């Protein structure tokens, strides 16, 4: 017996023994949880990159090598269902000094006009992928600013990265424009572009006099091209912002059958109980998935100079979940004017969501919000869970219980892909040092990036 992971996983057939796995992410396995946090004490048998059996932990020896995890927790690999890789890692050259949402918009716009050439976007997006992969992410959905020529260039860069990383990461992209853009001929061309790349049609919904017309149009464009939809909705603490409700009502009216996802939805938590319940009812009927983004929204919202914030800026995750509406958590922006921090780490997303949204005591099945739930909304049925016959795509922590897991960075985690340990060394920030210098020699200049 040995506890040297690299030595064991050099074998095709081995066991991970004495592990804790959250019951909510075990697929078709009837094992009773042993802790108040609903952790199951199990042994996993792995052969040729797949999980071939999961049993209650036994001290009996096996005929194959094994690793004693000493009750360390195992997760399936993370799924980050709402990111902005094209904006990432521009903080040093374009900081948002005020920290406000309005200045984030303006600062990104200026940076895009000056710097967003092909190589600049490619290198920053790939840096984000390298961080994500090293920390245990297996699938990412990114929104891409898509006004004018920026859309064609960014989708092309995305497609190159998608092909290059296809053995390591499942990548999806969503167009990001204000919905009024989709009323134009250019908006129709954008919908065609999204369809050509086989991706998701999206946009930002704002309360305005023509919102109903905008929503009718985006749903029609999606139906004509058989596209899923993904909206930024109600990213505000204004209780009069009811875009989520209007999106749901439009989906029901149009009998839309493809997937719909709405991110942010912050105003829901500020609305009176009657309106909130009406919204949740139609969201459930429309089968809309919700993505909460607590880190970015906590950073931006209720922010004023020399003022102590009073609100957390997140949606009503408990109210939604209690009605059976799927709720995922995701990282959103990373080291850009919308969020000056972050490292593309699914564990950080879960940890901060637990703290910001009070997901502990009890933890229930909230851990599935960064793996199993986003896998479903991204149409990835074989990811985000641990089960017999699935690939051994796992994250192994020394932490034995959630309190231990959320109290330290877990930088010593092991990441396993198809039964083999990967290199978890994070890329050095110096890789980005010359961006804005070399990038001027490449690609298309953006003149219309507005979000």
* Active site (catalytic) residues: 235
Interatomic CA distance for residues 164 and 174, integer angstroms: 19
Interatomic CA distance for residues 333 and 101, integer angstroms: 12
Interatomic CA distance for residues 6 and 48, integer angstroms: 15
Sign of the alpha-carbon dihedral angle for 381, 404, 427, 442: positive
Find out whether 115 and 150 touch, Cβ atoms under 8 Å.
no
Interatomic CA distance for residues 269 and 87, integer angstroms: 27
Give whole-number Cα distances, 106 to 95, 320, 338, in Å: 11, 33, 10
Separation of CA 420 from chain center: 24
Give whole-number Cα distances, 93 to 90, 338, 427, 432, in Å: 6, 14, 19, 11
- What is the token pair recorded at 239? 């209780």
Helix (H) or strand (E) holding 176: strand 170-176
Encode 26-43: b = buried (16+ Cβ within 10 Å), e = exposed.
bbebeeebbeebbbbbbb
Interatomic CA distance for residues 192 and 198, integer angstroms: 10
Q: Helix and strand tally (H, E) in the chain?
A: 13, 18
Interatomic CA distance for residues 198 and 234, integer angstroms: 27
Residue 263, strand partner residues: 232, 291
Strand 229-233 versus strand 260-264 pairing type: parallel
């Amino acid at each position: 017996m040995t506890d040297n992971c690299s030595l064991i996983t050099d074998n095709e057939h081995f066991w991970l023994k004495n592990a804790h796995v959250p019951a909510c992410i075990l697929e078709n396995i009837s094992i009773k949880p042993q802790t108040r946090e609903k952790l199951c004490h199990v042994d996993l048998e792995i052969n040729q990159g797949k999980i071939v059996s999961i049993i209650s932990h036994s001290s009996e020896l096996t005929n194959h090598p094994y690793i004693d995890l000493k009750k360390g927790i195992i997760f399936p690999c993370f799924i980050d269902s709402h990111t902005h890789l094209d904006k990432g890692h521009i903080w040093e050259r374009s900081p948002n000094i005020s920290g406000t949402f309005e200045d984030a918009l303006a600062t990104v716009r200026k940076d895009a006009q000056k710097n967003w050439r092909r190589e600049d976007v490619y290198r920053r997006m790939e840096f984000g992928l390298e961080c994500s992969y090293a920390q245990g992410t297996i699938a990412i959905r990114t929104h891409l600013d898509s006004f004018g020529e920026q859309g064609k260039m960014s989708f092309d860069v995305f497609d190159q990265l998608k092909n290059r990383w296809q053995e390591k990461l499942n990548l999806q992209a969503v167009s990001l424009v204000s919905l009024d853009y989709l009323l134009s001929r250019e908006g129709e061309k954008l919908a065609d572009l999204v369809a050509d790349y086989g991706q998701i049609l999206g946009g930002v919904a704002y309360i305005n006099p023509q919102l109903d017309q905008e929503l009718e149009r985006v749903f029609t464009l999606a139906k004509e091209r058989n596209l899923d939809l993904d909206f930024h909705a109600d990213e505000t603490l204004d209780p009069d912002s009811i875009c989520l409700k209007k999106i749901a009502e439009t989906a029901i009216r149009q009998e839309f059958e493809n997937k719909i996802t709405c991110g942010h939805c912050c105003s829901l938590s500020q609305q009176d109980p009657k309106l909130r319940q009406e919204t949740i009812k139609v969201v459930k009927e429309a089968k809309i998935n919700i993505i909460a983004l607590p880190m970015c929204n906590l950073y931006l919202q209720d922010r004023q100079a020399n003022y102590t914030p009073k609100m957390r800026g997140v949606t009503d995750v408990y109210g939604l979940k209690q009605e059976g509406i799927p709720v995922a958590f995701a990282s959103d922006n990373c080291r850009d004017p919308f969020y000056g921090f972050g490292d593309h780490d699914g564990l950080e997303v879960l940890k901060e969501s637990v703290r910001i949204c009070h997901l502990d005591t009890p933890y229930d099945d909230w851990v599935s919000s960064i793996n199993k739930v986003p896998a479903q909304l991204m149409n990835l049925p074989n990811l985000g869970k641990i089960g017999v016959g699935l690939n051994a795509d796992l994250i192994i922590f020394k932490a034995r219980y959630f309190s231990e897991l959320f109290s330290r960075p877990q930088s010593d985690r092991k990441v396993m892909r198809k039964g083999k340990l990967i290199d978890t060394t994070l890329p050095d920030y110096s890789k980005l040092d010359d961006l804005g210098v070399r990038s001027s020699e490449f690609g298309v200049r953006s003149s219309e990036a507005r979000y």
